[in-house]
Chain A
Amino acid sequence: MSTSSLVLTQAQARPLTLRLHGWVTTVDHKRLGILYILYALVFLLAGGVEATIMRVQLIRPHNDFVSPQVFNRMFTMHGTTMIFFVAMPLVFGFANYLVPLMIGARDMAFPRLNAFSFWMTALGGLFLYFSFLGGDGLYGAGGAPDVGWFAYAPLTAKTFSVGHSTDFWTLSLFSSGIGSIGTAINLIATILCMRCPGMTLGKMPLFVWLNLVMAGLVIPTISPLSAAQLMLLVDRYLGGHFFDTQAGGSAVIWMHFFWIFGHPEVYVLVLPAFAFASEIIPVFSRKAIFGYPVMVVATVAIGFISMSVWAHHMFTVGMSAGANTFFVLSTMAIAVPTGIKIFNWLATMWGGKIRYATPMLFCVGFLFQFLIAGLTGVMLAAAPFDWQLANSYFVVAHFHYVIVGAILFCIFGAFYYWSPKVTGKMLDEMLGKLHFWLFFIGFHLTFDFMHIPGILGMPRRIYTYEPGRGWDVWNLIVSIGVIFQAAGVLVFVGNLIWSCFRGKRAGNDPWDAWTLEWSTSSPPPEYNYAVLPIARSRRPLWDLKHPEDPDWRYE
């Protein structure tokens, strides 16, 4: 303890420029993890502002808060930002910070590759947002990208997308894609090659297992996206014809290439959310996770099945009956391992001494909301149902239920659970509960009621609508929900900043948890562990605290 606080005071005594230089040149997995997370939080606010602009525009029919052109840019930037520059950096940030600590390692397998990956991702975000200034190019047309987050051809062709906005979008996804692949390589090598003595694959915390599968999924997922971006660059800069239907090219093949990335991407994001829940729920239920081997098998099964479901995004394109049937069945099959996981978390809570601290509140919200998200998912997996509702607000409500209701809720839970380890200070519990309830109410106002205009036929991405179609009141409620969500996020950011300076000291192990990261100081010293730990069970810290009743007797 004394050594690390000494290091800290020395660091604080250095001038600001040197300290900033230290952050820019760092290869420490903990600092890079923090950089990822801070970077994502900035973009979370940007993406939130874009969503708010859309909801203000749609609050009543015939509104003219923004022009149709600006509306197109807002939904494109909102989607791209939230997926690539909020969700991805958040899950990578937590994985970066926590995986080496949990497996008792000094750092990631390739620290310099780690820094390279972060800065490539950062460059991608800069590209995307520079388009607001540079997208006009020489043509005086464009601005930010406005082709939608999946950028279907021929919208992206030079003819229909004049200026450089689409180029910035492509370059941004390509460079952040290189960063993602680098991080995935690093995570796999770290988890396979850097575990502390005794931590066999079967004794790794579930968090590590889920992130291993996530990283394994990133590699076959992001590489097709990068390839498709290269093709788009060839089309736009070199006059190629990949997606040029005039010259025999195909617009549909872009859809395939994009969704071969797009659907596994959902699992790339949701597996780390499962990882957070799989650590938080046992600790706050005071029980070991129920069915560890089944959880691992279900995760690996999700990883494999998720790569064969992509064309359920394309039922309305007009595929053959055989293809439709295959993608209906594979999509429904993925509900099985996912359902197994929900039952395992419930069984972990069953009979436990549950503490409803803020991290647990968010995880319980996740369980409940993820179930509903899965149910609408099974509905949309049925091709005839999808023909009716594809591209409607029902679909928008469904995937926001997954991304906000499941993934973001778990990420918020993870913030409350692990930030005491990162900053050494507890987040304020009362503000945390306020954040939870505000966000919970806002989420349900917005996304529960968003299903209804979808069923009533309201398409996504329209900038306004006629009165008297029965959509008005639902859109009003949906937009009111945004106020609560925004208030919740502001309380959260305020809580983060306030507790950093004024929070209660956390100590090493504020939650009485069982994984290795809680055995070192908060924040951990640069070298993580003075003595390499050994693991004899899945809960090495439990064994240390309870030498009379260690887990390895029963595993």
Chain B
Amino acid sequence: MSAHSVAWGENASDWRLPPRGRVGMWCLIGAESGIFTIFVVAYLFYTGKSTTGPQPGDVLHAPIFYTICLLASSVTIHLAVRGIAANRMASFGRWWVATILLGATFLLGTAREWIHLIFDEGLTISTNLFGTTYYSLVGLHAFHVTMGLLALSIVAAFYFSGWLRREHADRLEILSMYWHFVDAVWVVVFTVVYVIGLSR
């Protein structure tokens, strides 16, 4: 027991602090941004410095369709979270599943691009500097998409078993912050790899 016990003040009920989940997720996004920044800097620094081929211009094609899929998933997850906050569970379920499908389509796009690069073009992570920086930057992003999909699928499992309720809306909103972040990172990666990297 406290030796000096302290009473609540009159204004204690007015005491408001930021929600910890949101602050925690912002900090995680900050740390992840640091990691991505270093990989992006390495990619830009090493652009055009490969001593052997293939060079980016020879083999890379911008994955426009899959990019649209990933960006669209940001819209669908937003609609899903709005749905659960308004207690429209059916609408939540539809948009949530749509988000998972769009994210999975994006990953499929990355997989097809890698299969093409490895088996048709002969570019692996150890072929040259371009291969090293390309696979690690795009792979790091794909890893984050995979982690996000895993989390989204767990939520979907809870939804279909009927355990998900309206009071979980806050948590899903925090998860959607992560998903938006992964999308935003793709905008940067796309710009670096398929716009700046190809124009040099």
Contacts and interface: CB of A to CB of B under 8 A. Distances in A.
Interface of A: 1-4, 109-110, 113, 181, 184-186, 188-190, 192-195, 197-198, 219-220, 222-224, 226-228, 230-231, 234-235, 238-242, 247-250, 253, 257, 260, 508-509, 519-521, 525, 529-534, 536, 540-541, 544-545
A189 B2 contact: no
A531 B42 contact: no
A109 B20 contact: yes
Contact of B17 (A192, A219, A226, A228): A192
A223 B31 CA distance: 6
B6 A248 contact: no
B1 A4 contact: yes
Contact of A249 (B6, B11, B46, B136): B46
A230 to B, nearest CB: 7
A3 B42 contact: no
A534 B7 contact: yes
B20 A520 contact: no
A242 B33 CA distance: 20
Contact of A193 (B19, B30, B42): B19
A185 B32 CA distance: 12
Contacts of B30: 219-220
The 3 A-B residue pairs with the shortest CB-CB distance, nearest first, are: A223-B34, A239-B126, A227-B38
Nearest to B136: A234
Given A220-B34, A223-B34, 4 more contacts: A185-B31, A192-B23, A194-B20, A197-B9
A530 B34 contact: no
B1 A544 contact: no
Interface in B100-128: 125-126, 128
Contacts of A253: 42, 45
Contact of B129 (A113, A197, A241, A519): A241
A541 B126 contact: no
B34 A224 contact: yes
Contacts of A227: 34-39
A248 B50 contact: yes
B187 to A, nearest CB: 19
Nearest to B45: A253
B176 interface: no
Given A189-B23, A219-B31, A531-B2, A240 B8 contact: no
Chain B's interface size range is: 35 or more
A241 B126 contact: yes
Contact of B6 (A223, A234, A235, A519): A519
B163 interface: no
Contacts of B3: 1, 508-509, 519-521
B91 interface: no
Contacts of B2: 519-521, 529-531, 533
Contacts of B5: 530-531
A544 B4 contact: yes
B15 interface: yes
Contacts of A531: 2, 5-8
A239 to B, nearest CB: 3
B129 A219 contact: no
Contact of B38 (A257, A509, A525, A536): A257
A257 B46 CA distance: 14
B12 interface: yes
Nearest to B5: A531
Given A4-B1, A519-B4, A197 B31 contact: no
A520 B2 CA distance: 4
B133 interface: yes
B196 interface: no
B24 interface: yes
B20 to A, nearest CB: 4
A contacts with B: majority SS: helix
Contacts of B37: 224, 227
B45 A189 contact: no
A242 B4 contact: no
B184 interface: no
Nearest to B17: A193
Nearest to A532: B8
Contact of B4 (A186, A525, A532, A545): A545
Contacts of A247: 50-52, 128-129
A223 B4 CA distance: 43
A544 B19 CA distance: 30
Interface in B20-63: 20, 23-24, 27-28, 30-39, 42, 45-46, 49-52
Contacts of B50: 247-248
B118 to A, nearest CB: 13
A399 B109 CA distance: 50
Interface string B171-189: 0000000000000000000
A234 to B, nearest CB: 6
A204 to B, nearest CB: 12
A276 B7 CA distance: 28
Contacts of B18: 192-193
Contacts of A239: 125-126
B20 A189 contact: yes
A534 B12 contact: yes
A197 B8 contact: yes
Contacts of B35: 223-224, 226-227, 230
A250 B45 contact: yes
A186 B21 CA distance: 10
A188 B22 CA distance: 11
B17 A1 contact: no
Nearest to B21: A189
B7 A188 contact: no
A310 B78 CA distance: 40
A249 B129 contact: yes
23 contacts: A1-B3, A2-B1, A109-B20, A109-B23, A110-B24, A189-B20, A192-B18, A192-B20, A192-B23, A195-B17, A198-B12, A219-B31, A222-B31, A234-B125, A234-B136, A240-B125, A242-B46, A248-B49, A248-B51, A250-B45, A519-B6, A520-B3, A521-B2
Contacts of A110: 20, 24
B136 A231 contact: yes
Contacts of B34: 219-220, 222-224, 227
Contacts of A224: 34-35, 37-38
A248 B42 CA distance: 12
B4 A1 contact: no
Nearest to B132: A240
Contacts of A520: 2-3
A204 B33 CA distance: 29
A508 B2 CA distance: 8
Nearest to B36: A227
A9 B178 CA distance: 46
